[in-house]
Structure 1
Amino acid sequence: MAYRVLTINREFGSGGGRIAQTIAKWLGWKLLDRNIIDAIAYSAHVDADVVQHYDEHVDSWLRRLNQQAMRSAALAAGLELRDGTFFDAEQMVKITQKILEQAWTEGNCVIVGRASQCVLQHKADVYHVFVYAPLKERLLRLRTRLPKGTNIEERIRTVDGERAKYLQQYFGKSWCNPHLYDLMISSCEDEDATARVIQFAMTGQTQGRDQLVGVL
């Protein structure tokens, strides 16, 4: 199978985003990660900071209730609902799906997160990967990325929990369900080695084939 798209979903702190960036560079493919936020903002006519708030997040039940109440009140008053007027997590999911499907149509891209493993699950030419890592390695990585004084373990639980809830609420899938992925791999302490294994598993080729010895 000649794969045209790679999706990489990841535990927070596993290095999955950097691994995706590395593979995209090796393959000469487009990387879709944080630039998805800009694409959604442009499509929905809202500020990128608003979109960032909903990125792989689920609205609270109270916010969903308030949004529905505002929509109903606006319609009852005969007001026109313009695009972006009531932008919320559900709107973001719909727009994200369209963007991911368009990315698949164009091909040759690496997509990070955003439920791409569900949206493109039944596309035969898409390879799905889940990257995880031991907690101690995640703590080490995040110590250099997060502000000093951050409760890193709590942040890991929060981010991973939000990603899991996002997938469950909007797609009815378990984030760690192995049937969603072609490969689930631990990045351990070597992100480049992990990238080489993923590239080899998907294409049968790798950067520096001799470097793959001992990794598999």
Structure 2
Amino acid sequence: MEKTNTIITIGREFGSAGREIGYKVAKDFGIKLYDKEMLGRAAKESGICEELFEAHDEKPTNSFLYSLVMDTYSLGYSGGNYTDMPINHKVFLAQFDAIKKIADEGPCILVGRCADYALEEYDNVLSVFIHAKMEARIRRIARIYDLTDAKAKDLIQKTDKKRSSYYNYYTNKRWSDAESYDICLDSSVLGIEGTAEAIKQLVAIKENGGDRKL
């Protein structure tokens, strides 16, 4: 089993097999993958019921400006003491705290939920975005959910729109933009195994110091 000291965050287009790729990398490194588990952890530590985390999971909200959220966060509303904030902000910040606590426990893989943004101060993070050609994603989603191609495409577009809006709302970056991540990989070109292998190679390069001349 290979070893790593790196935390890997994975952003992903719906149908790009991002979570499956993450599980392969996690298995090879012998580390944990957190997907929906982040919600349970945040609920437990904040005392907010888990159903609320599920209800707000990677779904956008347009009621308050992003800057308002982060101003409140920087003023020290952490550790479960979110007082009079709107519930969607409480949920996001509790998740933000949980992601940091998970990261502090050691190497792991965190899927979605703005984990790359939550951990941007950490040196030992590799942020990855996995995308794929629409035809490949339609085939995968149609097969998994037993949908027609048209319904699969509709579900993909709606899910990506939610993930994009959520990420763009809560972070100062743009979802799926290359400059928002350390690396973007096309799983429809590399395949599931190939994308997992590429991530492992990138971790090895990062841990060896990359090109120190930069």
TM band (smaller chain): 0.7 to 0.9
Matched, 1:140 2:139: yes
Q: Distance in 1 between matches of 2:103 and 2:49?
A: 25
SS at match of 2:116: helix
How has the CA–CA distance of structure 1 residues 145 and 84 changed in structure 2, closer, same or farther, with 3 Å as cutoff? farther
Contact 1:9/1:130 (<8 A) preserved: yes
Structure 2 Cα separation of the partners of residues 176 and 83 of structure 1: 30
Q: Which moved more, 1:29-38 or 1:9-18?
A: 29-38
Partner of 1:209: none
Alignment partners' CA distance in 1, 2:188 and 2:44: 37
Mind listing any 5+ residue stretches in structure 2 that lack a counterpart?
Answer: 65-80, 207-214
Q: 1:55 to 1:161 in 2, by over 3 A?
A: same
- 2:176 is aligned to 176
Cα offset for 1:86?
8.0
Name 2:193's counterpart in structure 1.
Answer: 192
Give secondary structure in 2 for the equivalent of 1:161: helix
TM-score by length of 2: 0.77
Whether 2:166 is the aligned partner of 1:166: answer: yes
**Does the aligned pair in 1 maintain the 2:60–2:166 contact within 8 Å?**
yes
Change (3 A) 1:151 1:93: same
1:6–1:157 distance in 2 versus 1, CA, 3 Å: same
Number of equivalenced pairs = 185
- Residue pair 2:52, 2:91 contacting (<8 A) in 1 also: no
Superposed CA RMSD: 2.5
SS of 1:127's partner is strand
Equivalent pair of 2:82/2:90 in contact (CA under 8 Å): no
What fraction of aligned residue pairs are identical, expressed as a percent? Answer: 24
Tell me, yes or no, if the aligned pair for 1:3 and 1:126 is still in contact at 8 Å: no
Distance 2:105 2:193 in 1: 27
Cα distance per residue 1:138-157 (max 9 Å; x no partner): 01111122254682212111
The match for 2:40 is 38
Matched letter for residue 14 of structure 1: S
Residue equivalent to 2:157: 157
| Distance in 2 between residues matched to 1:21 and 1:89, nearest whole Å | 29
- Could you tell me which runs of 5 or more consecutive residues in structure 1 were left unpaired when the two chains were aligned: 65-81, 206-216
Instruction: Choose the corresponding residue for 1:27, options 12, 26, 29.
Output: 29
Mark the CA change 1:143 to 1:58 in structure 2 (over 3 Å): closer, same or farther: same
For 1:159, what is the secondary structure of its paired residue?
helix
Structure-1-length-normalised TM-score: 0.77
Is 1:5–1:110's contact at 8 Å kept on the other side of the alignment? yes
Structure 1 residues 130 and 85, CA gap change in structure 2 (3 angstroms)? same
Structure whose alpha-carbon radius of gyration is higher: 1
Instruction: Tell me the amino acid that sits aligned with residue 9 of structure 2.
Output: T
Q: Is the 8 A contact 1:46 1:84 kept in 2?
A: no
Q: Secondary structure at the match of 2:39?
A: helix
* Corresponding residue for residue 10 of structure 1: 12
